[in-house]
Amino acid sequence: MINEEYKAMLGGKSVIRELAEYATARGKEIGYDNVFDYSLGNPSVPAPASFTAAMTDLYAHGDPVALHGYSPSLGNPEFKQAVADYLNRKFAMAYTANHIFPTTGAAGALSHAFRAVTKPDDEIVTFAPYFPEYGPYTAGAGLKLTVVPADTTAWQIDFAAFEQALNPNVTAVLINTPNNPSGAVYSAATLEKLASILTAKQAEYGHDIFLISDEPYREILFDGGKQPYPSTFYDNTLSCYSWSKSLSLPGERIGYVAVNPKATDADLLVPMMGQISRGTGHNCPASSIQLGVAKVLDETSDLSVYETNMNLLYDALTSIGFDVVRPGGTFYIFPKALEENATAFCMKAKEYDLILVPSESFGVPGYFRMAYCIDTDKVKRSIPALERFAHEVYG
């Protein structure tokens, strides 16, 4: 007898993946260059040359036994120390290597963070709009995911709705900034208020509430903006990071959890994550990739194309008449659809070879996401299609 739960999940495939598959199929008919595929958040720029050089050097001169050997289950000490030093320098934190747990991307980081600070049947609260994979990620840890309705004016936090969602069963709150899909960057004021509510609720309920902060877009910021570091606002914070976007390494599966040294049982949490790995079958990321990334922590890919694309799209969308909040970072924009039913809107856009993702799966009705991690030339060529779509279908 096979597992009915996973079998049932086959019926609920990701809308984003389905649209990406449609875009590929349509590309075979008309040439992929002519499909304005805004479906997937796959980086469109290469990893920096310094990363390739670091890996080439390791392969040419490193000790092959160490390079391809098992990583210690809590991670390579050199990598962990380099990450701790980097975060301390950048955000004035006091991490030691013992607070850093290397993971397979942000997905691996989140899955360890959830299990370390919650138990099955606890509630975890997140905020709309949110990354749809939070559904399976949290369900896999046995958690009940509660979604706080969106602040549609600025995509920050609707604090009245947040306070209503809190109750003694909540043991963790999950945030994502800069945000997929809205592109919003949580301000210091937002993070301060969030921290003060969590501090008060911890005292009221008599137990910890951990903040799990998902930060794979931390370096993709526009207009010279800064992302305040959530862990500096609230001690019980686990920061989940990934180089999938900043170094364009999504296929390498490399990230980490950083445990705030002032969190409850901070010194136990990383060793506990090593135990969690035994149950999930996760192994530490490849030794070679930990060593390579450790050498380029201050680097990013050339991320400027995302800001160029954002500006082109933001200006075009507003001049066409779309209602849209200007993103502060990421490579996503999240305008209001021109009809209430975002799925119907996105299906009609397909007729213009515009592949847009409807917002329902992000927990907000009536919007759509464009992932503009594509060539600038294609962004430019898509603008007349957007204009024709909006004017011909919606007048």
Q: Which is nearer to ligand PLP, 177 or 266 (CB)?
A: 177
Q: Considering the complex, what minimum distance in angstroms separates the CB of residue 214 from ligand PLP?
A: 5
Residue nearer to ligand PLP on the CB measure, 131 or 345: 131
Q: Applying CB under 6 A, does 335 fall inside the site for ligand PLP?
A: no
Spatial distance between the Cα atoms of 194 and 231, rounded to a whole number of angstroms: 12
Separation of alpha carbons 271 and 259, rounded Å:
11
Distance in Å, CB of 105 to ligand PLP, minimum = 3
Under the binding rule (CB under 6 A), the answer on residue 123 touching ligand PLP is no
Q: How far is the CB of 247 from ligand PLP (least distance, A)?
A: 11
36 conformational bin, left if phi > 0, alpha if psi -120 to 50, beta if neither:
beta
| Helix and strand counts by DSSP (H, E) for the chain | 14, 12
Q: 158: closest CA among 366, 369, 364, 341?
A: 364
Among 138, 156, 180, 213, binds ligand PLP (CB under 6 A): 180
Q: What is the distance between the alpha carbons of residues 96 and 115, in angstroms, rounded to a whole number?
A: 22
Of 74, 65, 138, give the one whose Cα is nearest residue 288: 65
DSSP codes joined into one string, 281-343 = T--PPPHHHHHHHHTTTT-----HHHHHHHHHHHHHHHHHT---PPPSBTTEE-PBPSSS-HH
Name the one range near ligand PLP by CB under 6 A: 99-107, 288-296, 303-311, 353-361.
Answer: 99-107
Q: Shortest Cβ distance from residue 359 to ligand PLP (Å)?
A: 15
Per CB under 6 A, the segment of 101-109, 197-205, 282-290, 385-393 that binds ligand PLP is: 101-109
> CB-based burial of residue 274 (10 Å sphere; 0-12 exposed, 13-18 middle, 19+ buried)?
middle
Q: Does 183 bind ligand PLP (CB under 6 A)?
A: no
Taking CB under 6 A as the rule, does residue 290 contact ligand PLP? no
Residue 84 exposed, middle or buried by CB count within 10 Å (0-12, 13-18, 19+):
buried
Please identify, using beta-carbon distances, which residue of 352 and 367 lies nearer to ligand PLP.
367
The single-letter code of the amino acid at 71 is: S
Question: Of 136, 250, 261, 366, which lies in the binding site for ligand PLP, with binding defined by CB under 6 A?
Answer: 250
Q: Which stretch binds ligand PLP (CB under 6 A): 28-36, 194-202, 242-250, 313-321?
A: 242-250
Is residue 327 reached through a cis peptide bond, with omega within 30 degrees of 0 on the bond before it? no
CB-based closest residue to ligand PLP: 105
List the interface residues with ligand PLP, window 19-78 (CB under 6 A): 41
Q: Note the residues at the interface with ligand PLP (CB under 6 A).
A: 41, 105-107, 131, 176, 180, 214, 216, 242, 244, 250, 255
